[in-house]
Amino acid sequence: MSAMKVGGSLRKASITSDMFNKSFKLDIKTKLRLFAEYGFKYIHWCDDWNNEVLYSRENIGQYKRLIESSGLKCIDVHGTETSAVHIASEEENRLDHYVKLLENRIEFCSVVGGDSVVIHPPTDDWGSRPLEWKLDRSLSVFESVKPMCEDLGIALAVENCYPYDEKVLEHYFERYSPEFVGFCFDSGHAHLNKNLDGLMRFSDRLKALHLHDNKGKEDDHQPPFWGSIDWERVMLWIEQSGYEKPINFEVSHHPELFKGTPEEFLDRAVRSVRKAMALVHL
């Protein structure tokens, strides 16, 4: 299927780099080429978000060249964590390793031209400590990377992931300025946790977006209008928030939900993104 059939530029739309990582497992050069061919100008770097890969200076330079040679611009980067190494790890060595991973992604974000690194906050699912302890524990991570963030002009964007998101976000926003700590709004998570209304009050902290659809049961990460999210409401809220960056769609291909080729899935995703972007004047 030719990319020419879906038209040209997607204006201010962005796509996540890991769209095919769970299925076709395309190499990064191929993915970037396809995104550009299908009209995207911007990407959110989401590769390696759930492993302990540290990018070398050589890796960073290589990825920067690949992004630029594809005619794309990286607007922000997803930080990385695992079930063992995360923002509230109880073991000091694991917490130290998380900080190193975060510093690595902050450096990467700065080099490739982004302005924020997305991080997941603590969850009740980790260990036996209460959430309050984990939130306080995570503050040491913020303090560790704050000088680096300020020096490089990179913000941290805390993603909504759980039913108690408001409490988590307030914990950080009460302590840190919007220049250092902002909000990554994830539409799929908000839909699953039924807390969109509460999250909307943090519009002045928006730093990054993870927009995708589901049917209220699983975190499907599908294109807009595939599930049951009220896209007119979500897009209007983003527009009224004053958010000025490209609008990022965190869409993933799942073989059990879509049986076609990468090109066919991209064609579908592009049409859905265009429909969502047409709801507002962004």
Establish how many alpha carbons lie within 13 A of residue 131's alpha carbon, considering only the half-sphere containing its beta carbon.
13
Q: Helix-strand-coil percent breakdown of the chain, rounded to 5?
A: 45, 15, 40
- 211 DSSP 8-state letter: B
Q: Using CA of residue 58, residue 251, residue 198, residue 200, what is the dihedral sign?
A: positive
Provide the residue ranges of all domains of the chain, joining segments of one domain with +: 3-277
> Residue 205 above 80 pLDDT?
yes
- CA dist 189 and 179 (Å) reads 24
Helices within 70-91 (DSSP H only): none
* Residue range 3-277, CATH number: 3.20.20.150
> For 90-106, how does the pLDDT look when each residue is reduced to its tens digit (9 = 90+)?
999 999 999 999 999 99
Residue 175 binned pLDDT confidence (cut-offs 50, 70, 90):
very high
Sheet holding 181-186, edge to edge: 206-210, 181-186, 155-159, 116-119, 73-78, 42-45, 13-16, 247-249
3-state SS, residue 232: helix
Establish how many alpha carbons lie within 13 A of residue 208's alpha carbon, considering only the half-sphere containing its beta carbon.
34
> For 127-155, how does the pLDDT look when each residue is reduced to its tens digit (9 = 90+)?
789 999 999 999 999 999 999 999 999 99
